Structure 1
Amino acid sequence: MSSSAHIAGGPSGSGVVPRGLRLRLLGPTLVIVGSLMSVVSSLGAPLIPTIADADGVSLSTAEWLLTITLMTGALATPLMGRLSDGPRQRDVILAALGSVVVGCVVAALSGGFAMLIVGRGLQGVGLGLLPVAMAVARRNLTPEKSRQAIATLSVTAAIGAGLGYPLTALIAETFDYRGAYWFGAITVGCSFVLAAVVLPGRAEVPSRRFDTVGATLISLVVVGLSVALSEADGWGWTSARALGLFAACLVLLAAWIPYELRTADPLIDLRQVRNRSVLTADTGGFLISVAMYLLLPVVVEFVQVPAAKGYGFGASLVVSGLVLVPYAAANFVASRFLGIYERRFGTRSMIPLGSLIFAFGTAFFALEHTHLWEAFVVTGIAGFGMGFTYAAMPGFIVRAVPASETGSATGFYQVLRSIGLTLGSALSAAVLMAHTPSGSALPKVSGFETALLFASALAVATAVISFVLPGIGAGRRARAEAAKPAAVVPMMEEEAELAGSGFMTVDDRASDTR
């Protein structure tokens, strides 16, 4: 397959490819779906104090509004990612959107906290849509449009959080918290109709045997880790229950890894992680996700602390949500600059640069937080760094794996991100709790500073790891390429342009050498 054929026919070269207006609408539709899922997933966090008071539950119990969504999202992501590598990508997306609509309606009509949790759990299925949307983009769009769509999709989680917080706060103050879920039901219902009209039908690609055993094992690990990380602060990190649950997860993981390596058609092909590009994205995505949730909830809570406490700004729920608008906007702007930066400076420094920008923003606010405007500026800086980092990571995976493995590989990456967000949420709560004096409802300012400095340190670690990993062996590869005959240089340059964007597939490179 030539590279020109690759561009014309999409990475898979088969299936029902949309034409005309449907083709032009495909990229925007995928981005709309991804953004709405991120907004809906954030409908829980700002409402935690309100719902705890309304339903008569503790704040720690009410935090399950966020935890259950992240957990079901982590469960759904690898399953949907593997299914998206088959012929029924459209069916997977519509089923997930349908689950989210039902979940929003259940939450809006709930008469108690238990039904609200059920609704939020159904909404979490939508978090598994990102790898599916990326697989659809790669299969049906040209490399340039596909690269743009995937870069935008990869930052929708951060954009959704930045938009969802103030939107939720505004709706909750105008109506009540149920209004936020009615909003979710209506908007996601509209995206369901749009997806049903625009998305291509069944593709002519082979079905894959579903790895039931692997799916069961990894699901148990995800559930166990989610519960342990969410409850360990209340149980005690060294309590028998917490340690026992962590140990059980390690045992299950030890069983899952060799099983996935042995099976012929695994849920997640762990051999891909041997590729340094994939390992870079997976490791960096996990670490920066932990840092992300050591920043966002901490800043939102900090600005709401009454100034009489000696720090904080006594901001309302709406104003504290608006603090994250620069974060969302900067994420999107950063994803637009990625292609320009890549053409000018290459791919290796993209993740390190974004991580260092994020580290600078979080460290600055940890050391300087005397004015409210600083919170707005810092979230914008951190958002630009996070957007640059998140937008770059999927390209590292996509250029390293065959098109038929896109959903599975990006699905595993999304699972690691979800676990990182859960861990970051648990760590931020633990740090603030450790700095809260006995009998006080609010932590000392040192708690916020420690959490932010920890986030900055994790971002620096992400920068170092993501710079070192792809560079190992780079010198040997450069010497090998220099020794190739001059006649193949033009072809190599053409392939490098596609590969650098993440859209020259393994299958294409193999066929071009024949």
Structure 2
Amino acid sequence: MTSRTTRTGGGAGADPRDDPSHPRRVLAVLLLACICFALAQTLVIPALPQIADSLGAGTSSTSWVLTGFLLSASVATPIVGKLGDLYGRGRVLTWVLVIFALGGVVNALAGSIEVLVAGRILQGVAGGVFPLAFGIVRETSPRERVPSDLSLLSAVFGIGGGIGLPLSGVIVDHADISWLFWINLVALPAALAAHRLIPSTPAAHRPRIDWPGAVLLSLALGSTLLGVTRADAWGWSSPTTLGLIGGGLVLAVLWVAVEARVTEPLIQLSVLRQRAVAATNATAMMVGLAMFASFLLIPQFAQTPTSAGYGFGMTVTGAGLLLVPSALTQLLAGPVAGRLGVRIGFRRVLALGTSFSCAAFCLLAFAHSSPWEFVVAGILLGSGICFAFAAMANLVVAATPPAQVGIATGINTVMRTVGGAFGSAVAAAILAAHIVASTGLPSEGAYTAAFAFSAAVAVVATCAALLVPRQVEEPAPVPVAVID
């Protein structure tokens, strides 16, 4: 059976791949969509104190601007990926971008912290752009371009952090903070371009959505992440924190039990049990942990006044600029990672990426007296994150049936987010445990310990990467939508 869809422009029966420029234009739209979400994820972090002041909110309430977004994105990502598998990824991507832009308007006009948090939760739905983009690349890019295109899209996940933090500093220092959210309206032209350029190919057989499985997965992720992200405020040993994390694990077990029994599950458990997918997901969690730890540690270290005996006394903007070398490296390394993966295998690229990340954190643990050391570490870390994310996307797509690509890559993306939540929380806990009474600041040894912890996590990630089978099947060709 041949799936049919409609796209503005083009003659009857035209194949989108017949136009040599079409895959490039589609990729440009996907890159813009992904950068929208990646920026929204980190843009507010340096501005939280200013947001609290402008809305008259407390620190605890303001932290929900980040927590609500994180929870929403984690819950929405696998479900949006599944909806794309069923109803057509182009169509779902268009609506996700519109919802994201609407959330940005709500945020920009918010007069209270409650409205702002609601807008951020609405924007979190855009977490699904990554699994949608991965599936669209598999459908529309020429076969020989798929690895490099997936690699470039994957790099955006880390690039957003490297660009978002310094951009936030510039906005906070020189403009109204509402521009942190008005900038999200760039998603609207991306949505229009997605509607016009990306064919929607619904599944030939459209099964019912496994709503019990979707609800259980959402509750498991939400409970676990809420416990982790609020552990700094509630305490890691508090009954609330332990109850939420433990409850999330119990719900995850129940989700597995439900998925094993239904005829049309949210995702085939056999896909998750594949060694390539399981090892890649474990690596994703570790890499996400280390990456988000760096987002917290590096700017905070750089902003520490030199009177503390370490740090550089930088502004928010200056501290964010230390992450720019990492972002630029990822932008340049994305296509390189794709070509290298085709030559030596993405298993090796994944292990290289985690090894580079380990080297970066080892450098920072023992050499952090000068900004140039952070620049060198940033280049290493950027290369490592880019190689790792590029390899993970390619490995999961290669090991997954076409009908399961959206949900499978969605879960891999969620594993990065879960790891990132742990990374930020653990790094903050290490710093909080080593406060110097005379300054009220963490000791230099606290940063050394936090960087060393991140290096150890990268070692574990390397071990997980080496568990990926040496040979992962090349992605099977997928039918291309017929354009009416």
Same fold judged by TM-score > 0.5?
A: yes
The amino acid that maps onto 1:333 is L
Matched residues in 2 for 1:84 and 1:172: separation? 36
2:85 counterpart SS class: coil
2:40 equivalent in structure 1: 40
1:135 equivalent in structure 2: 135
1:503 shift after superposition: 2.4
1:503 equivalent in structure 2: 475
2:482 equivalent in structure 1: none
2:275 equivalent in structure 1: 276
1:156-203 residue CA offsets vs partner (Å, 9 max, x unmatched): 110111111111211221112111211222x11221222222111444
2:386 equivalent to 1:413: no
2:8 equivalent in structure 1: none
2:435 counterpart SS class: coil
Matched residues in 2 for 1:63 and 1:205: separation? 44
Asked if the contact 1:269–1:408 (Cα under 8 Å) also holds between the matched residues in 2, the reply is no
1:25 equivalent in structure 2: 25
1:80 shift after superposition: 0.7
1:338-382 residue CA offsets vs partner (Å, 9 max, x unmatched): 233234433331111110111101110111111122222211210
Matched residues in 1 for 2:93 and 2:391: separation? 24
Asked if the contact 1:268–1:412 (Cα under 8 Å) also holds between the matched residues in 2, the reply is no
Asked if the contact 1:41–1:127 (Cα under 8 Å) also holds between the matched residues in 2, the reply is no
1:276-295 residue CA offsets vs partner (Å, 9 max, x unmatched): 11112111001110111111
1:211 shift after superposition: 0.7
Matched residues in 2 for 1:105 and 1:410: separation? 29
1:55 shift after superposition: 3.0
Matched residues in 2 for 1:397 and 1:261: separation? 21
1:242 shift after superposition: 1.5
Matched residues in 1 for 2:87 and 2:288: separation? 31
2:453 equivalent in structure 1: 454
Matched residues in 2 for 1:333 and 1:24: separation? 17
Instruction: Identify if the C-alpha distance between structure 1 residues 147 and 343 changes in structure 2 by more than 3 Å, giving closer, same or farther.
Output: closer
1:45 counterpart SS class: coil
2:324 equivalent to 1:352: no
1:443 equivalent in structure 2: 442
Matched residues in 1 for 2:169 and 2:311: separation? 19
Q: Alignment RMSD, CA only?
A: 2.0
Asked if the contact 2:356–2:380 (Cα under 8 Å) also holds between the matched residues in 1, the reply is yes
Higher relative contact order (CA 8 A, sep 6+): 2
Instruction: Identify if the C-alpha distance between structure 1 residues 374 and 212 changes in structure 2 by more than 3 Å, giving closer, same or farther.
Output: same
Mind listing any 5+ residue stretches in structure 2 that lack a counterpart? 6-14, 480-484
Instruction: Identify if the C-alpha distance between structure 1 residues 444 and 54 changes in structure 2 by more than 3 Å, giving closer, same or farther.
Output: farther
1:188-229 residue CA offsets vs partner (Å, 9 max, x unmatched): 122122222211144462223101000111111111112101
The amino acid that maps onto 2:161 is A
1:97 equivalent in structure 2: 97
Asked if the contact 2:47–2:168 (Cα under 8 Å) also holds between the matched residues in 1, the reply is yes
Moved more, 313-322 or 267-276: 267-276
Asked if the contact 2:360–2:378 (Cα under 8 Å) also holds between the matched residues in 1, the reply is yes
Matched residues in 2 for 1:153 and 1:326: separation? 18
2:117 counterpart SS class: helix
Instruction: Identify if the C-alpha distance between structure 1 residues 411 and 73 changes in structure 2 by more than 3 Å, giving closer, same or farther.
Output: same
1:15 shift after superposition: 4.1
1:86 counterpart SS class: helix
2:387 equivalent in structure 1: 388
Matched residues in 1 for 2:290 and 2:4: separation? 40
TM-score (normalizing by structure 1): 0.87
The amino acid that maps onto 2:194 is A
1:470 counterpart SS class: coil
2:302 equivalent to 1:303: yes
Asked if the contact 2:39–2:163 (Cα under 8 Å) also holds between the matched residues in 1, the reply is yes
Asked if the contact 1:303–1:320 (Cα under 8 Å) also holds between the matched residues in 2, the reply is yes
Moved more, 83-92 or 435-444: 435-444
Asked if the contact 2:346–2:394 (Cα under 8 Å) also holds between the matched residues in 1, the reply is no
2:290 counterpart SS class: helix
Matched residues in 2 for 1:128 and 1:204: separation? 18
The amino acid that maps onto 1:340 is R
The amino acid that maps onto 1:83 is L
Matched residues in 1 for 2:233 and 2:341: separation? 45
Asked if the contact 1:295–1:451 (Cα under 8 Å) also holds between the matched residues in 2, the reply is no
2:126 equivalent in structure 1: 126
Matched residues in 2 for 1:314 and 1:168: separation? 18
Write the mapping of 1:197-236 to structure 2, written as runs, cut at 5 A.
197-203=196-202, 205-236=204-235
Mind listing any 5+ residue stretches in structure 1 that lack a counterpart? 1-11, 475-495, 509-514
Asked if the contact 2:85–2:202 (Cα under 8 Å) also holds between the matched residues in 1, the reply is no
1:116 shift after superposition: 1.2
Structure ID, larger Rg: 1
Matched residues in 2 for 1:52 and 1:265: separation? 45
Matched residues in 2 for 1:441 and 1:117: separation? 30
1:255 counterpart SS class: helix
2:396 equivalent in structure 1: 397
Q: Could you tell me the percent identity over the aligned residues?
A: 31
Instruction: Identify if the C-alpha distance between structure 1 residues 439 and 198 changes in structure 2 by more than 3 Å, giving closer, same or farther.
Output: farther
2:10 equivalent in structure 1: none
